[in-house]
Structure 1
């Protein structure tokens, strides 16, 4: 059905070139051998972070495994815009007169709403000018402007990593940490570490990501009893650590972190704190992702059956849920059920669907499991930019 070479075939080819057995590669990448075998055969799909671990072990860039990310809506034309927004922090036009700080705050709030709704084209159109405005506003408003600037750089990070540009993602994280440090807010700094850990994991530095998260959790923990927002950030750090540990096939560490997150999540509630979705529902979503990466599809689907989305859960989080459920169905060799989840994901977040390498890999795996690809799967593949 699909002309693009499947990710599993790329892994197998490079592995054999390196003279490695599946067992040797699995050990070197700290992933499960059985999962590796199923990905290589095209029988199931893998997360971006899992692929990064394997790419690092093979000594190649993860883009070589996931392949080109063609996009029918030309979202990749946003890349020059992202690069301009991240280019520097000290070359803003001296004659620029920024908008009043309250208006800039409203624009940053809107940017966050677009990010959670996966409206990447709107972010790209707004990002460069807003960055320039906030850099200039920082001279007058100091910490207030820098806090807003950190959230704006976060939106740049989202665009970069959704479109598969790891170098730009790391640059955006440098900029976000720079602004967070100047905001005077330790929780914003901790949130920047939460995001940096994800960026590190996406380039195969999962162990370093866990070290960063552990250090940050130690810094935040003394604040959680008196500060509900600190408890929310602390929960998010544990959720991130739980999913990263799962991609390293460390079930015990993953479960410990997710259990810690669940303990505090109830008092936090389902809401957005520091531009991050937190609460009991999001803990379950991270648990599902971890269970899939640990090759526990039965547990993942059981957890998924308990998820009820409230109106406040972002489309971005919901689409990840349906993608992870699709991956669980593929592990159970039920491609039709996986395809249904892919359809729901497409409806919820069409731009994310078109840009995501995980979507493409899941479609390819579903095609591999179906004896005859039906029109629905062909339509999904074409929508995601995979040539028929």
Structure 2
């Protein structure tokens, strides 16, 4: 790998340009001084949420910290397609016959499968036309069509945030909320807020994300004991609150949320509800991510080593496990193990790997920790679009 300014070095440089100490930056970002120091020194690979908090504290966009990278053009060519899919909810014309809602439902099921399998290019190929068909169907069929449309907008959000377009991600979530409200499904709306909280955290609005999650949990709490799907969404909201709290260095609050998620998840089981992976296995993955962002490297590695992933878990979630395991090893200054985890992530989801800022940050951190970049690290860097 060519020497490039690491994310941590950029953080340190901009912090100093702002006349800020690490203590001041940590306080403003809601993080710990220890974690800021480790990120700057190349001893920790920050998550997208932690980077968002640091960028917000420095008054810059996250891309200023991640720096210019070789863009995965085949993926970024989809951006105009995403913009078209999100452009309007009422300004469209359809010349042909509208498809039956049963056919549209089958297409959305396929779209959701592609999303969980990180087949982003396939999503981009069908997105605009499917959105228009579902908008048309909403006029005729009402709530069922709007529920399908919400899932389609969720796929738009996935593409937008994986490619690093925060503005498009927020627009997609606005559209998803619009459709969820018209679906009449309170749990679908709660799932939208689960996603919105992550988007808020990625732009440094972690406190607002927690307020949104708290409000949403209060709204569905009466149904948790009587509705298994409500219990599943409840666990997802607590998982998200656990990781957001971790980026804000609130270990106690993070633990409380993750323990509540784990408690209810035992009765929920490992499954997909409202297109969201839930259950004990996924709670464990969130716990690993939270431990890393809290700077608890030993616990994060221990959790990662003892985790057995369900065979039918979505590729997207498996990839996140390997990325967070890599970050855990980097926090323990073990770049060789981290690189092995990154190889696993690439094998599972090459499109995700190519687009992910978390991947690039982890690779740069691994390079900083290795005295001399190995062939394996150089190969992964090429796969991620980092200049060799």
- TM bin, normalised by shorter chain, reads over 0.9
Aligned length: 388
Could you list the runs of 5+ residues in structure 1 that have no partner in the other structure?
A: none
For the residues of structure 2 that align with 1:283 and 1:189, how far apart are their CA atoms? Answer: 21
Counterpart residue number, 1:384: 384
For the residues of structure 2 that align with 1:317 and 1:305, how far apart are their CA atoms? Answer: 16
Counterpart residue number, 2:60: 60
1:75 and 2:75 aligned: yes
For the residues of structure 2 that align with 1:192 and 1:69, how far apart are their CA atoms? Answer: 31
Could you list the runs of 5+ residues in structure 2 that have no partner in the other structure?
A: none
Counterpart residue number, 1:290: 290
1:150 and 2:150 aligned: yes
For the residues of structure 1 that align with 2:140 and 2:10, how far apart are their CA atoms? Answer: 52
CA contact 1:4–1:386 (8 Å) conserved in 2: no
CA drift of 1:311 comes to 2.5
- The Cα offsets for residues 330-360 of structure 1, whole Å up to 9 and x where unpaired, read as 1111110100000000001100000000000
CA contact 1:92–1:135 (8 Å) conserved in 2: no
Counterpart residue number, 2:246: 246
Comparing 143-152 and 9-18, the one that deviates more: 9-18
Q: Secondary structure of the residue that 1:74 maps to in structure 2?
A: helix
CA drift of 1:43 comes to 2.7
Counterpart residue number, 1:133: 133
Q: TM-score scaled by structure 1?
A: 0.98
Pairing of 1:33-52 with structure 2 (within 5 A): 33-52=33-52
Which of structure 1's runs of 4+ aligned residues deviate more than 4 A? Answer: none
Counterpart residue number, 1:173: 173
- The Cα offsets for residues 311-337 of structure 1, whole Å up to 9 and x where unpaired, read as 221110011111111111111111101
Counterpart residue number, 1:106: 106
Pairing of 1:90-105 with structure 2 (within 5 A): 90-105=90-105
Comparing 55-64 and 274-283, the one that deviates more: 55-64
CA drift of 1:42 comes to 2.2
For the residues of structure 2 that align with 1:2 and 1:141, how far apart are their CA atoms? Answer: 56
CA drift of 1:235 comes to 0.5
Q: Secondary structure of the residue that 2:78 maps to in structure 1?
A: helix
CA drift of 1:98 comes to 2.0
For the residues of structure 1 that align with 2:373 and 2:63, how far apart are their CA atoms? Answer: 26
Counterpart residue number, 1:375: 375
Comparing 4-13 and 354-363, the one that deviates more: 4-13
- The Cα offsets for residues 80-112 of structure 1, whole Å up to 9 and x where unpaired, read as 110000000001205343211011001101111
Q: Secondary structure of the residue that 2:77 maps to in structure 1?
A: helix
1:316 and 2:307 aligned: no
For the residues of structure 1 that align with 2:274 and 2:132, how far apart are their CA atoms? Answer: 22
Q: Secondary structure of the residue that 1:277 maps to in structure 2?
A: strand
User: RMSD of aligned C-alpha atoms?
Assistant: 1.0
CA contact 2:72–2:355 (8 Å) conserved in 1: no
